[in-house]
Amino acid sequence: MKALTENISLRPYNSFGIDAKARWFGSFSDVEQLASLLPSDSGHRTFILGGGSNILLTRDFDGIVFKNEIKGITEVHEDEEHVYIKVGAGENWHEFVLHCLHRNWAGVENLALIPGNVGASPMQNIGAYGVELAEVFWNLEAFHIKDKKAVTFTLSDCDFGYRDSVFKNKYRDQFAILNVTFRLRKKPIYHTSYGAIQQELEKMEVRELSIHAIAKAVISIRSSKLPDPKVVGNAGSFFKNPEVTQSKFELLKAQFPDIVAYSLVNGNYKIAAGWMIEHTGPRAERRGQPSLSWKGFREGDAGVHPKQALVLVNYGNATGKSIYDLSERIMKSVEEKFDVILEREVNVI
């Protein structure tokens, strides 16, 4: 473990800005470096760190943290309709989206300004404004930490779900993603019906639709709602939007006529978690007082963003545990009021 550094603060490496320490820390820019850094015995816990934008560190990590810094964007193949692009896992996601826009490669424009690195995108099956990563994914290469060998995963191998993949479940903490290959379109298929994209395009007075216009609209919407992690520590949406059956949705709709939900092709409904969080709140200290909304709530340096109730924030020196505890209180109050169980989108370490 000569090449590893001991007792390193991970505060600069996670977007929440949590000051947790790693027992050992090292970075790698290719698979050979990673293999050389791995200890010969398997007694040490390991964690592969990308952009640190989707994790909540609740304690010091008593093991080895490896920072993935594999770079490179390469066009590997093309056919009549598509271009296939291999991207290093350490590349910044938004910079990759801009790279695609510059070359008129379509498919990721709705995913502009999502924080984090490319390597985390398939782990989370990132998605926004009606598009998910699975729709542009071709394959990826990942390094098995224990067996010390590279493995290729196809679309079906990844078992993508809503903000989910095999890397968050069956193979959690077993692989380091090395690169991801995307299948992008030469001729775009536009997705403008989700969220406020259409309204934003009208506001921008866009006369001719393009991937550039959609990306600009998405960036504008996200910038107006979501805090910059460089200013206020956060990991974007902290909770998933829960899926409920049609009968459950009808019960909720009867009780809460203004509830926000989206119908799914399977007949179920996706409930807007942010709406439910906004319409619940901490218990009032005195009996008879109405409950406040969680939106804008703050206790110490842990809080809920005043513009988006889905986003939990660190205003400075919050601990990961204080943010986790706040998320527990929110989940409990939503379950009590709506009989709906929220799931965290953020990975808790």
**Residues noted as catalytic:** 163, 237, 345
Q: Do residues 241 and 271 touch, judged by C-beta distance below 8 A? A: yes
Question: What's the token pair of residue 67?
Answer: 């920072």
Q: Do residues 248 and 256 touch, judged by C-beta distance below 8 A? A: no
- 147-151: which pairs have CB atoms within 8 A and are 24 or more residues apart? 148/35, 148/38, 150/31, 150/178, 151/175
d(CA 293, CA 261): 19
Q: Do residues 314 and 57 touch, judged by C-beta distance below 8 A? A: no
d(CA 53, CA 36): 26
Dihedral angle computed from the Cα positions of residues 132, 134, 135 and 139, in that order, rounded to the nearest 10 degrees = 150
d(CA 199, CA 85): 32
DSSP string for residues in 139-193: EEEEEETTTTEEEEEEHHHHT-BTTB-GGGTTTTTTEEEEEEEEEEESS-----S
Tell me the backbone φ, ψ of residue 301, rounded to 5 degrees: -100, 5
Cα distances from 296 to residues 226, 287, 292, 313, 336, in angstroms, run 13, 22, 10, 10, 20
d(CA 163, CA 342): 13
Cα distances from 250 to residues 256, 259, 271, in angstroms, run 10, 11, 12
